[in-house]
Structure 1
């Protein structure tokens, strides 16, 4: 009984209903009946068989259920419901029968099928026992032990060729009988690489071309197993070499995938067609290129395969090799004059996919044989792809090869990106790849070609290094966004939380006076639009040239910095008037009163002179002026006061 409780506790993960059914089943099979007949002796509740403790964890069996359990398992063939199998914690295999509504009908340990004498004898290779059984009239060799599994399948599986001879001598008609998966004994023997059994079956006339349910022939399966000896045996007995499987792969496809040149040579000599394609439009040449099989590739080309043939998607063998990073294959194909300018259906050339993958060596090989005109037709440059994936070495190689660093995406490809990016520089900036940005700018990349300027992206990313690089290469600080107009430089929207960056932009030509232009002036401003829908429905800003600075600075995420921002801006303007909205911000914090005083008219003469000198000389020429260092620093807003000595 101890074993009983051990088993029962192992079923702790079962439901109450399943536990109840299991208890009933075990009580019926393991415990004596309550019927005290001579066949059913009374229960002896000795120490070896203690009574079941029906505690709260083990409730007593209740036979009042409206669906009483059955003592015998239902017949799986006629049972209307589901039959499921599972393993208990103790490692025992169980089977459960459930009605369509999910209720449990029966649960019990899965019965162990007793192996039939003939199948057991075949498995262990007892030839004399097999002979004896085949001569017994009651032995039906055509009766399977499981769906379709005859004794000859058993012999083929276990490699018992002697048993196989005995069986076929006794019943030759079963040689091509198939299992439930459509496998003949020959297919089973090939799958298990049992060459002696294959030879016996072929000698006895087994059909070499009977496929399984996936339409795989024994020859195809032999190529999959890469067994040259079995392939040779099948070909010698007339196996068809070009029969496709359910996916239209032929034996040659499979041999190419397995990189077995010996088998490929045999198939080609036997008439295998290297032009046949699978459901994906790929010939064995593509298969070899995809998987990097150089020896197979050489063999196929030797037998006349077209090196520039294209698959259903337009890809060539060179395209596939570049896509999968097979340097040796690319080098070989190029040496055989493979065309590097045939695009796939996406418009990509082999160079594109190599750049996207970051294969520097392959890119280096393809650069010289790729037409820049064909690249332009693709609507995307390999520079874009290298920059997008941060492949800096590839990017550098393409720049050195003279690819246009200002090439823009075609309208069709540009629509794939919500931010309407168009240049390689944009890709590098948004990736925060400073090294790539530096390379592109040094090569002449224009920072002002994208609709949403790379400078704005860099400011939004809070990357002062990229901002500095872009400004040094004449990025337009005062640019606007066509789709989201503002009356002030749009880059300020992304930089005001970083005052050093904000000041840097002002120092290098950013307009400040536009920030104080307000259509409402001292009048009461309309309520602030706090939601996007409200802002979208407001047409006033559009009528006045876009969102005004006082509106933008009033956003909850920015308004806390309103005072310092206005303070910085006042250093870059002359006589300006603060609108009522800006005054509201300055009045909201007592320490900002000094900023209002700073804005009071008239502005200091030194400030006005500084602005005039900046206007006449330009920010880039200030350092070259023949003026004292202190004055230069003042003009550059590097000190709060000026020492004229």
Structure 2
């Protein structure tokens, strides 16, 4: 099967169709149909439409669910609200307000359609359209390494093409946790430095998913360490620390270029930097609260705006130490004024430690006096309302954490504020059978 040129050209395709018609003594329409089918398109007009869009540099639709694009529009709006330059630029480019309808118009126009309705009509026909980008996305989702290699060899432009909100195949491949897909794309020229509309690069994705092998692969290919996503300071290292992904965080930290603020020092357990940023009397150096505009990895977390309040900076750092299991940093921050039960943004130190299964941090916080039954928030607003650390340990099937919390007097009958469910109910709902059994035995 012949590959399309790296930059498909309608003139070349038309010439090829005419040459084929003469050589095979068939009608031009038959020759055009054959060429379209050869490249996986159901018709010549579908092939032409794809080539035109590729030449215009518009985004490619790739998901067959029309509601998916509504969610992407809301995500773009949230990123613009966070001040992400690339997201703001998309609204400015199309002169649209920062509203839901404005975001939908932006997403439609970025795909080459004048209206949201036009994009939706296009998506409805996507499954049978033969669109290479959509086909490649399906192969990525199926983790079909050989299939992905074949389609990218047939359509070389795919490694440079982008889909909705600027997501490219390399970024999508990272989300599958299969490094082989990323290797296929990098070997064919994919750009490891390119970010999507949120500024999110493939290295951010490796940090988010705690994939050290992918991080190494991307770093070897030249992926930048100092790019911020979703606000100033949202580098790949900070994303790893947000989730307590120590393996990737430590790899990235060795490369340098980390924001040198208090939450990074706490997450890395950097005692020297902690001493530099927070003094024994609890006062902070100016750099302690710098570069903290990143506060959520995606729009599933609610809006917030970090402030320069000294207590907030200390207390946030405490939760970053907890989620990364940095027990000495916990002791240092607690001794220097951090509030053990503060819920600065979607979780206390104890709930973060419990959610991430960091048993050493849980023990340390309880020894320092954290309230085992403290009720707070966690994650998205439709999930973590009125929860305790025991709910989150049950959700994650973290048995060692459950045992420590129960021994400390955790309330087995505590009910969250959203679903009115006990920790045992959370274990059942989240398919954590071992946690459910442990909780049942504890009664």
| TM-score where L is the length of structure 1 | 0.28
Quick check: which one's helix share is greater? 2
| TM-score where L is the length of structure 2 | 0.40
